[in-house]
Amino acid sequence: MDGKKYSVVIAGGGSTFTPGFVLDLIKSQDKFPMRQLKFYDNDAERQKKIGEAVKIIMKERAPQIKFSYTTDPKEAFTDVDFVMGSIRVGKYHMRSLDEKIPLKYGVNGQETTGPGGMAYGLRSIPAILQIIDWMQEYSPNAWMINYSNTIAIVAEACRRLRPGAKVINICDMPIDDMDRMAAICGLNSWHDIDFNYYGLNHFGWWKEVRNKKTGEDLMPKLKEYVKDHGYWVGGDYDKDTEASWEATFKKVADDYKMDPETLPNNYMQYYYFPQYEVASADPKHTRTDEIREHRQKIVFGECERIVKAGTAKDNIWDISGLHSEYIVDIIHAIAYNTHEKFLANCENNGAIANMDPDSIVEVPALFGADGIQPMATGKAGRFQRGLMMEQQTCEKLVVDAYVEHSYQKMLQAFALNKTVPDASVAKKILDDMIPVNAPYWPELK
């Protein structure tokens, strides 16, 4: 280590994931020493609730790191080495509509898949591009690690509209799945697993899963388990898992049967079984309501408790979350040029041999000081390639709609999507979404 101490800004300081991330950063000070931590958000009130609790956490546990939070972009993005992108444009109010509008027409209503995912992607594009521009203006050497959804669409917008920008778009879902695989095989965590994986974001397959230390092929053991139980581990491992996630991980058993050669990302169920998803959804109580009653309530309740008590002793984040731990691993790899292997959403350029070079794909990549070096994963199966071609075309059409302000392109994106049965249904959903998205979307003509 060269003794350098880093400065980090979290864009989306009011995010429910922020406190967990801060605690993981603090725990990692021997491996990633920091001199400054800042939050940026465009909702001052929401950010303040998290910011005031984090102030206490920082004072007690890392007084050497200067901490502040702001809604001023210049203050936020000046003098930083890393920008963490964790924004949700339109917040839970808009996510709720992304879920409920499609369900009204018998179509899957989900955060990042189907029409809801495309609507969310279109909202995120201008906000993420703006953050990139601020980063480039105020801290041109900084890297942005973005995990604001809809990642596949945001990554395509970055590729086309900010080529060369120092932005890496990542997702923790495969990490969650791999952690489950590790538990199924009796290993400690996803760190003990080596893998070959390919696909798009929330749309991919493992070709290989091995014990990192011994090289043992874990696929036979995993297939035997997954065909009956999906990625559901149960017991202590799943004691805090919410009901909708339990159903999601169990459903992987059916996803797996669509291609017993590979293991699927758990999000494949929204494309393989959209009718099942609609039938098992409650259009009046979707995942957003569950988060409001669970994660959001817990996070903001805990922040309030810390502020009132004036101490962060025994807080709920002392046991680390996977999501934040993964992000700390990634910034460490870039800061110290370790060339560790993680998954990235990036331009294909041959990483999947039989996909277009300009596709955005999710593949293993080596992370270092110059960013990422995507790895060759071989050829996609015929079934997978067909699915990916359709899905990535939808993602490209959403970016076309953004660039051209095109109603037609957005309609095509919805109509092409595997979750939407009919172009007339696509039109009804889009027409309902346009007025509610008016504050965020370009005017579609």
Instruction: Please enumerate, by residue number, every residue annotated as part of a binding site for substrate.
Output: 95, 149, 287
How many whole angstroms separate alpha carbon 401 and alpha carbon 175? 31
Handedness of CA 91, 10, 328, 63 (dihedral sign): negative
- The amino acid that residue 340 corresponds to is E
179 binds ligand LMR (CB under 6 A): no
Residue 287 in contact with ligand LMR, rule: CB under 6 A: yes
CA gap 248, 68 in Å, rounded? 38
Active-site choice (105, 267, 271, 326): 267
> Which range binds ligand NAD by CB under 6 A, 82-90, 99-107, 133-141, 413-421?
82-90
CB nearer to ligand LMR: pick between 95 and 166: 95
Which residues within the stretch 107-146 sit at the binding site for ligand LMR (CB under 6 A)? 111
DSSP 138: H
Burial 279-302 (b: 16+ CB within 10 A, else e): eebeeeebbbeebeeeeeeebbeb
Match 């003098």 to its residue by tokens: 79
Task: From 287, 257, 252, 283, select the one nearest 270 (Cα to Cα).
Answer: 252
> Of 35, 46, 221, 385, which lies in the binding site for ligand NAD, with binding defined by CB under 6 A?
46
Query: What DSSP character marks residue 150?
Result: S
**Of 151 and 233, which CB lies nearer to ligand NAD in the complex structure?**
151
Is the peptide bond preceding residue 150 cis, with omega within 30 degrees of 0? yes
Q: Which is nearer to ligand NAD, 76 or 312 (CB)?
A: 76
Binding partner at 266 among ligand LMR, ligand NAD, none, C-beta below 5 to 8 Å by kind: none
**Tokens at 299, concatenated:** 């996070």
Which residues are known binding-site members for Mn(2+)? 171, 202
To the nearest whole angstrom, how small is the minimum distance from the Cβ of residue 149 to ligand LMR? 6
Are the C-beta atoms of residues 65 and 36 closer than 8 Å to each other? Answer: yes
Out of 7, 113, 136, 149, the residue judged to bind ligand NAD by CB under 6 A: 149
**Smallest gap, in angstroms, from Cβ of residue 197 to ligand LMR?**
17
Instruction: Give catalytic status of residue 267 as yes or no.
Output: yes
The vertex-318 CA angle with 317 and 324, nearest 5°, equals 55
43 is catalytic: no
Say which residues have a Cβ less than 8 Å from residue 343's Cβ, sequence separation at least 6.
170, 171, 174, 175, 197, 362, 363, 364, 365
Please identify, using beta-carbon distances, which residue of 62 and 291 lies nearer to ligand LMR: 291
Tell me how far, at minimum, the Cβ of 172 lies from ligand NAD, in Å.
Answer: 4
Write down the least CB distance from residue 194 to ligand LMR, Å: 24
- Dihedral angle, C-alpha 399, 205, 370, 29, nearest 10 °: 110
Among 16, 345, 391, 412, binds ligand NAD (CB under 6 A): 16
Alpha helices in 273-381 (DSSP H): 274-280, 287-293, 295-309, 322-335
Binding partner of residue 87 among ligand NAD, ligand LMR, none, CB cut-off 5 to 8 Å per kind: ligand NAD
Beta bridge partners of 196: 208
CA–chain centroid gap for 388, Å, is: 18
3-state DSSP assignment of residue 418: coil
Exactly one of 33, 35, 36, 43 binds ligand NAD (CB under 6 A); which one?
43
Partner in contact with 430, chosen from ligand NAD, ligand LMR, none, beta carbon below 5 to 8 Å by kind: none
315 binds ligand NAD (CB under 6 A): no
> Which segment (52-60, 144-152, 278-286, 398-406) binds ligand NAD by CB under 6 A?
144-152
Q: Which entry of 24, 81, 98, 172 is annotated as an active-site residue?
A: 172
Of 422, 359, 305, nearest to 351 by C-alpha is 359
Site map 92..121 versus ligand NAD, x via CB under 6 A = x-----------------------------
> What are the residues binding ligand NAD (CB under 6 A)?
11-12, 14-17, 41-43, 46-47, 86-89, 91-92, 127, 147-149, 151, 171-172, 323
> What are the residues binding ligand LMR (CB under 6 A)?
111, 287, 291
Which of the residues are catalytic?
172, 267
